[in-house]
Amino acid sequence: MHKKTFYAIDLFAGCGGLSEGFIQAGFEVISQIEMDEWACETLSTRHMYHALKKIGKEHYYHKYLRGEIFKKQLLNKFPDVYELVSHGVIKAKFGKSKLSRILEKIEKATKHYGASRFNVVIGGPPCQSYSLIGRSSNQHRMENDKRHFLYEYYLKILAYLRPDFFVFENVPGLITAEAKGKEIFLKMLDDFRNINPPYEIAPSFDEYYENPREYLLDSSDYGVPQKRKRVIFLGYKKSLLQYNKNVKDVFKNILTTTTPRHAGYTIVDAIGDMPPLKPGEGSDRWFGEYPKEALTPYQLKMRNNSPGIINFKARTHMKSDLERYRFFIEHHKNGNGAATLEDLIDQRPDLIPAHKNLSGFLDRFKVQWWYQPSSTIISHISKDGHYYIHPDLCQCRSFTVREAARCQSFPDNYLFEGPRTDQFRQVGNAVPPMLAKVIATRILKELNKIYIS
């Protein structure tokens, strides 16, 4: 059967989690639009990797990871790769950059790839204003925050590009928000249904009233070693119904009944093969080759095509925090279960943190246990690691960027550029590539039916 190339564009791309899943499924992601400087640098590095891999020169990428060649030198050596990278990442901020300029850059990238059109638009606008934590501290934050209207730029690009499908993702707070939040979400669904050309949504608009949580996907159900829920809804042109009258049910099934290939991965699957680190040890860039064999299928998947370990440096911690970490780890190891701040207050009052709202954050120190999926990796990990304490008492530290990335299902050769704080932020804001790949694979199957069968 003739193999056709299908093209995607990623809006609000972040560090590229959605894109990576679509690329792994077989899509060509032509353009990624992102405003953050270091996330754009990460995206360009990943474009460089995929371009070098296509021409059988990925060993040069490995040299870059090891610090044996600079990025500029590498791109100068391969002008065609440089062209792909320069067209592939569009640094722009919706609302400040002119939409006409963004569309012009998208058109240039499309022509450079020789693509006649985009088949899929993917992405989701910044989600902080939908955050459950953010709303708890300011009940009017969502209503007053202009960021939740950034989806309108998504709509405009969708109407301009007219893809066969689109994928919109965001945080659970988008549908769990009360009153004004629900009103905004329903308006969003209605707006997506009423652009030209007309699109249908899965789950349907009406199904929201029956069960809003049908829009929620938990990454741990799709082979990701992390309890991470995201709002996902899929859109398809109404005209596609002539090719598959059951397309609505097909996409609803992605969200509700898809059986993961490898469910039940845990922290030990994710990072059990990583070398031990003390606080402050490691490297923000190249750490070294793997010291031992992979222990699980998940680890083998993460190691695929990687020369070793990168983004693997442990934070330094204050002595008082290390004592708290030790208390929480030992509390569990002694058979008492997971401790909260209440246990710390009762048993070690000398370690009570100087925090104004102790009762509101009883689990602000949280150990990630070996045989459970990790807690949701969020961008707050860039500020401190208290919610991501390593389960090994001998290491007594918080997660590294690479350990957080493993829990997000980013492959080990995925380099996060920038200072460590920015690396953490990129990982915390990302969509797990493994989840994205499940969705992308199903869309690809439908596209093959339409254009090849």
297's CB contacts (< 8 A; 6+ apart) are: 262
- Omega before 433 within 30 of 0, i.e. cis: no
Q: Both tokens of residue 219?
A: 């990454």
Q: What is the rounded CA–CA span in Å between residue 404 and residue 411?
A: 11
- CB neighbours (10 Å) of residue 421? 13
127 catalytic per annotation: yes
Q: What is the rounded CA–CA span in Å between residue 198 and residue 450?
A: 18
Q: Both tokens of residue 335?
A: 């058979």
- CB neighbours (10 Å) of residue 402? 24
Do 276 and 395 touch, CB atoms closer than 8 A?
A: yes
Q: What is the rounded CA–CA span in Å between residue 48 and residue 420?
A: 21
CA 251 to chain centre: 21
The tally of CA atoms less than 13 A away on the side-chain side of residue 259 is 1
Specify the DSSP class assigned to residue 197: S
CA distance between the termini of the chain: 9
Q: What is the rounded CA–CA span in Å between residue 315 and residue 74?
A: 31
Out of 15, 127, 396, 407, the active site residue is 127
DSSP secondary structure letters along 289-341: S-SS---SHHHHHHHTT--SEEEEEPPP--HHHHHHHHHHHHHIIIII----H
- Residues with catalytic roles: 127
